[in-house]
Amino acid sequence: MAEEKHEKDINRYSVSRFNMFKECPMKHHYAYVEQLPEPDNEYTLAGRLVHQAIEYILKGKDVEEVYQEWYEAVDTGKLSLPRDQLEYTINQYFTYYYHDYNTEDTILVEHEFNYQLEGDDYFNGKIDQVYMKNGFVGVRDIKSTRQQLKYTRDDVYANNQLLTYVPPTEQLIDAKVNFIEIDEIRLAKLADEVPLIQRGKPSTDKENLSLVTADLYRAELERQNLLDDPKYARVLEFLEQRGHPLFNRVAVQLSNRDLLDTNEEENQNIYKAASLDIKYKLKDKQKCFMCPYRNICMHDELAGGTKSREQLIENMR
């Protein structure tokens, strides 16, 4: 195999590397030991462009070039989402969070850090956003999805990535982090109308209403004089508590500061703990289906065939 150095430095540790090893040690081998290129798949491409569009807007850069990359990806079949989805999502996002972004000071955006470990090893990551609001500092992690929003406070408490990013963030900004936050974005479009069922009544099926806002549902109940009907009132209450169908921000306060002391020894322990939390899980069909190394992994020299391993790797570049 031709020796070629890719950006996956073997000494570089990261949360995504831990997660990859946990998901499949073979995949980790291809990515970090053989350092094969890892082309964007449909999901990583969409996520990367969402992050980039938000970054460009917060940094005052021209977001049009990110939209162009999205259009090209849709036109060439790399993305199976609407052509205007990114633009739509970003416009909705900044409208919805207009007040938040105007009342907080953004300190870091898409900031890459390298944190020295033992020997040549280092810990690497990219912090999506660090901001200050009312004198408190928060670390925000953006997640995009096509499914219904799902993050709860428990998920944020247990989020290894965010917790692992706290010490490097504190070192970078020379201040304590007070809370961590997940900023979940659904790549979909809001419903224009409430789905109606037989006899023209509003649907009460929560799945059916996943893209309907509480305001739209309330307006439909008003229009049909159904606001006082307990059956519909309960659905409206559910929609109000569920929140916006496309955006969900969940923050938790870091109350136990002893666990996240910024002293060096403690930090090393956090990384060690992250690396020990590895359990083997092989040949998960769903994961294999999505895996960028699938062709290499399934390649069998003895079975013959027209393509060599080198050719398959070349095709990935």
How many residues touch ligand SF4 under the rule CB under 6 A: the total is 11
Interface pick for ligand SF4 out of 12, 19, 22, 26 (rule CB under 6 A): 26
For residue 265, the SS3 value is helix
Question: Shortest Cβ distance from residue 22 to ligand SF4 (Å)?
Answer: 12
Q: What is the dihedral of CA 21, 24, 27, 29, to 10 degrees?
A: 50
Minimal distance in Å, beta carbon 301 to ligand SF4? 16
Encoded one letter per residue, x for contact with ligand SF4 by CB under 6 A and - for no contact, window 287-316 reads xx--x-xx--x-------------------
Backbone angles phi, psi at 201, to 5 degrees: -80, 150
Q: Among residues 13, 15, 21, 27, which is the contact residue for ligand SF4, using CB under 6 A?
A: 27
Cβ proximity of 90 and 54 under 8 Å: yes
- DSSP E strands: which ranges in the chain? 12-13, 105-116, 122-133, 136-145, 179-186, 247-253
The Cα–Cα gap between 308 and 297 comes to 13
Q: Least separation, in Å, of the C-beta of 39 and ligand SF4?
A: 13
Among 24, 108, 212, 250, binds ligand SF4 (CB under 6 A): 24
Decide whether 26 or 45 has the Cβ nearer to ligand SF4: 26
Q: Smallest distance, Å, CB 282 to ligand SF4?
A: 6
Please provide the size of the chain in residues.
317
In the bound complex, what is the minimum distance in angstroms from residue 294's beta carbon to ligand SF4? 4
- For ligand SF4, give the closer residue by CB, 23 or 181: 23
The CA distances from residue 201 to 18, 188, 229, in Å, are: 50, 25, 12
| Contact with ligand SF4 (CB under 6 A) among 5, 199, 279, 283 | 283
CB 191 within 8 A of CB 211: yes
> Taking the complex as a whole, how short is the minimal distance between the CB of residue 273 and ligand SF4, in angstroms?
24
163 binding ligand SF4? (CB under 6 A): no
Restricting to residues 243-282, name those near ligand SF4 by CB under 6 A.
282
> Which residues bind to ligand SF4, rule: CB under 6 A?
24, 26-27, 282-283, 287-288, 291, 293-294, 297
